[in-house]
Every structure is written in C-alpha cells, then in structure tokens.
Structure 1
C-alpha cells in the first residue's frame, strides 16, 4: 500500500513538472509569435511606405495634377509663385501644398494611409502613415547680371522653377505604438515655363 501511494506521488510531481514545461514552451512560442507578427507588420509598413513614395513622386511630377492644384483656393501661395500674382514668392521657402489628381478633381490626394496603403481616418490605430506635401520655389535671376544668384523674393513675375517635396512618415497619432518605420522623402522639380506654356492657367 505504501508503494502505491509513493508511485502516485511521483506521478503528480511529474505532471506538475510537465505542465510547467508546457507553460514555458507556450510562453516562448507566444513571445516568438508576437515578435514575428511585429516584424511582419514593420516589413509591410516599409513596403507600403516605399510604394507611397513612388506614387507621390509620380503625382508631383504630372503636369495635369500641378495645373489642377493651381486652381484650388487653398493653394493660393502656389498660384502666386507660379503665376507671379498677389504677394509674390520667396525663394527656397517651403510652402504647404494640397496636391490633386485629375482623376478625382474635387478632392485632394489623401495624406493618411493604413498598413495596406489605403486612405484612412487619421485618428484610427491602424492609420500609421502620414504624407506631408510642400512646394519650394526659386525666383528667376535677372540676366544678364554680374551676380546671377536668384533673388530672395520675386513679386509680379513667375518663379523659374519649383520642387514639390513629400515626406512619408509615421502618423503622429500612432507614436504611442513605438517607432514603426523610418521616414523617407523625395522631390520632383518642374520648370514653370513648361507648366504654364499654352495653357492659360495663370489668366
């Protein structure tokens, strides 16, 4: 009878040890799974970020998009610089720009995107990406001149060219989730003479 109780005691201990080992293995698998999912999400975000950078570079260089954007009231500074109107323009200053696509002429291109690159509500937890768009003009130097440096400002005359710059970064609303991906950016340069030639956009 004593031998039977002893065997049962060893069995309970063995079960407890086995359960403990199972728990440790499960915890390890769970931690590994969480880390793997996190890496997958970061990789997906990096891919989406790169795709958005390519899309915005193309959109920022399309003449139709730029001409359409010129007509929008929120882009008054853009119109002033490109057409030499209003208060004029300051060289090398970064101005905000709402970029439009001629496929959807009544709505600016979205600047907030989720993991899959779809437009999203900027306050949503999954809305991880924000794109900021600006234009940077350069006034045309007066030639011939002993100093061909572009003037700091120009009023009443169009700028010579401008860059539409964009930055693909983490949506500030998701910073509590930690750093999700590295910020990247780029620019597309356009000669004003090529943009406005024969279009009447500045009339």
Structure 2
C-alpha cells in the first residue's frame, strides 16, 4: 500500500512538473518568436530572463535549461553580429584611409587649380575693363566725328551762301545798300557825257 501510494504520489509530482514544463514549451513556441526572429540585443535578452523568472518558472530546472539554451543562442548570435560589425568597421576604416590618401594627393593639385583659376579670372576682369574702355573711347570718337561732320555741313552751307550772295552782288554791281561795288565800271564812266545824255533823252 505504501509503495502504491508512493508510486501514485511520484506520478502526481511528475505530472505536476510535466504540465508546467509543457506549458512553458508551448509558451515559447507560441508567444516567443523563433530563434531566427529574435533580435540579438542585450535588452531583449534581459526581457526574456525577466519573463521566465517573473512567470513562476523559478522552481522548474527544465524551464531554466530551456532558458539557458535560448540565451546561449542569443549570445552566439550577438557574438556573430559583433564580429561582423567589427569586420565591417575595419573595412570602412580601410575605405576611409584610402579616401583620405586620395584627398591628400588631390589637395595640392586643387590648390594649384584654384590659383590658376583666380589668375584667369583676374585676367578676364582686366580684359573686360579694357574692352569697356575701348568701347567708351570708340563711342566718344564717333560722337566727335558726328559733331565735326555736322559743323562741316553747317560751315559748307554758310560758305555756299556767301558765295551765292557775292555772285548775285557781282551780277548787280551794287551792294545791299545800293552802293557800287569797287572795281565795277558803270555806264557814266565808260561813255562820253553826250552819249549818255542822248541815250537818256531817247529813253
């Protein structure tokens, strides 16, 4: 009877242990993401530990064994990711070193090109100023030529007017006030007085 009772009690204890263990496994499989989906961060690892201990599994070594396995996988993945990041960091540092070396080789040429560019810009500005001065001088010369041409036309018209007036006076033999022009012979001087008188009487 005692053996039967002891066996029955052992079966009950095994069942009481197996039931929470089964629930823990179901909980891991249903509510927790798979190993591939677990994020390998320290914060989530601590969250997983808190869940196991605060969930009442402290008394079950089987649950703790599962926790150790899961955390070990997390640690392995964290180490792998850390190693990968270290490798990526080293690769990036090597690229940075190559780029810095390229920049160091390029800087002297860049300074030379910047100096040449500044000199060429200064020459271009000087040429622009010379062109501007030349255009201004040319415009001034054109204006002076136009003014001289206009003055020449006016002087020509005045001279032509004087020549025409002189020619008309020469034809008349008198100036504008009726005075005889010097050097012009009139009828009274060229003919005898008798002829002049007879001419006047006949007229």
TM-score by length of 1: 0.30
Structure with more strand by fraction? 1
Query: TM-score, normalising length from structure 2?
Result: 0.30
Which of the two has greater helix per residue? Answer: 2
